[in-house]
Amino acid sequence: MSPSIDFTILIWSVIILFSAMALTIVIKEIYEYIIEKKGKKSKREVRFLKLKKENDNEQN
């Protein structure tokens, strides 16, 4: 293979990688938005509230 073909494959690999990462982030945000709209708490909120409750218990 010539160097130009290798470089093209590298560029396309990077483009596909970043596209997959962006798509993953978008899907995650949509999922969290749907959960919030239903009134349920996201995992992050539940974890935060649990840690906050534990800290309050330790202080008392």
11-29: pLDDT as tens digits: 999 999 999 999 999 999 9
- What is the mean predicted confidence (pLDDT) over 40-45? 70
Q: Which of 10-17's residues contact partners 24+ apart within 8 Å by CB, and which partners? A: none
Question: At a CB cut-off of 8 Å and minimum separation 6, what does 41 contact?
Answer: 35, 49
Amino acid at 46: V
Domain range for 53 is 3-59
Query: Is there a contact between 42 and 32 (Cβ–Cβ < 8 Å)?
Result: yes
- How far is it, in rounded angstroms, from Cα 2 to Cα 14? 19
Measured CA to CA, the distance from residue 42 to residue 32 in angstroms comes to: 6
pTM (two decimals): 0.51
Q: How many structural domains is the chain composed of?
A: 1
What 3-state DSSP class applies to 60?
coil
